[in-house]
Amino acid sequence: MSINRVKLFIGGEFVESETTQYIPVTNPATQEVIAEAPCATPAEVARAIASAKEAFKTWREVPVSERARVMMRYQALLKEHHDELGEILAKETGKTFEDAKGDVWRGIEVVEQAANIPSLMMGETAENVARGIDTYSYVQPLGVCAGITPFNFPAMIPLWMFPMAIACGNTFILKPSEQDPLTPTRLVELFEQAGAPKGVLQVIHGGKEQVDILLRDPEVKALSFVGSVPVAEYIYRTGTEHLKRVQAFAGAKNHSVIMPDSNKQTVINNLVGASVGAAGQRCMAISVAVFVGKSKEWIPELAEQLAKVQPGAWDNKDAAYGPLISPQAKQRVVSMIEQGKKEGAECLVDGTQCVVEGYPDGNWVGPTFFSKVTADMKIYQEEIFGPVLCAVEVDTLEEAIALVNANPFGNGTSIFTANGAAARKYQHEVEVGQVGINIPIPVPLPFFSFTGWKNSFFGDLHAYGKQAIRFYSETKTITARWPESEIDNGPNMTIKLQ
Cα torsion through 154, 155, 157, 160, rounded to 10: 160
Taking 90 as the threshold, does the pLDDT of residue 3 lie above it? no
449 forms bridges with which residues in the sheet? none
Q: What share of the chain is helix, strand, coil (3-state, %, to 5)?
A: 40, 20, 40
Confidence of residue 174 (pLDDT cuts 50, 70, 90): very high
Q: Residue 1 above 70 pLDDT? A: no
CA-CA-CA-CA dihedral for 159, 230, 452, 253, to nearest 10: 110
The β-bridge partners of 476 are 138
For 203, the 3-state DSSP assignment is: strand
pLDDT at residue 2 above 90? no
User: What is the 3-class SS of 353-391, one letter each residue?
Assistant: CCCCCCCCCCCCCCCEEEECCCCCCHHHHCCCCCCEEEE
pLDDT at residue 468, as a whole number: 98
Give yes or no for residue 488 having a pLDDT over 80. no
Note the pTM of the prediction, 2 decimals.
Answer: 0.96
Mean pLDDT across the chain: 97
Q: Is 347 a catalytic residue?
A: no
Q: Which amino acid is at 5?
A: R
Among 56, 58, 122, which Cα is nearest to 475's?
122
57-87 pLDDT, tens digit each: 999 999 999 999 999 999 999 999 999 999 9
In the chain the domains, ranked by start, together with CATH numbers, are 8-251+452-480 (3.40.605.10), 254-408+412-437 (3.40.309.10)
495 DSSP assignment? S
Residue 39 CB contacts under 8 Å (≥ 6 apart), including other chains: 17, 19, 21, 22, 23, 205, 206, 207, 209, 210
pLDDT digits (tens, 9 = 90+) for 291-330: 999 999 999 999 999 999 999 999 999 999 999 999 999 9
Looking at 283, 347, 354, 390, which residue is catalytic? 283
Closest by CA position to 329, among listed 180, 185, 454: 180
Distance CA 255, CA 234 (A): 26
Please determine, for residue 494, whether its predicted confidence score (pLDDT) is greater than 90. no
Concatenated DSSP letters of 211-261: HHHHHH-TTEEEEEEES-HHHHHHHHHHHHHTT-EEEEE----EEEEE-TT
Distance of CA 425 to the CA centre of its chain: 28
What is the number of alpha carbons within 13 Å of residue 302 lying toward its C-beta?
A: 32
**pLDDT at residue 496, as a whole number:** 87
Mean pLDDT of 235-242: 98
pLDDT value at position 93? Answer: 98
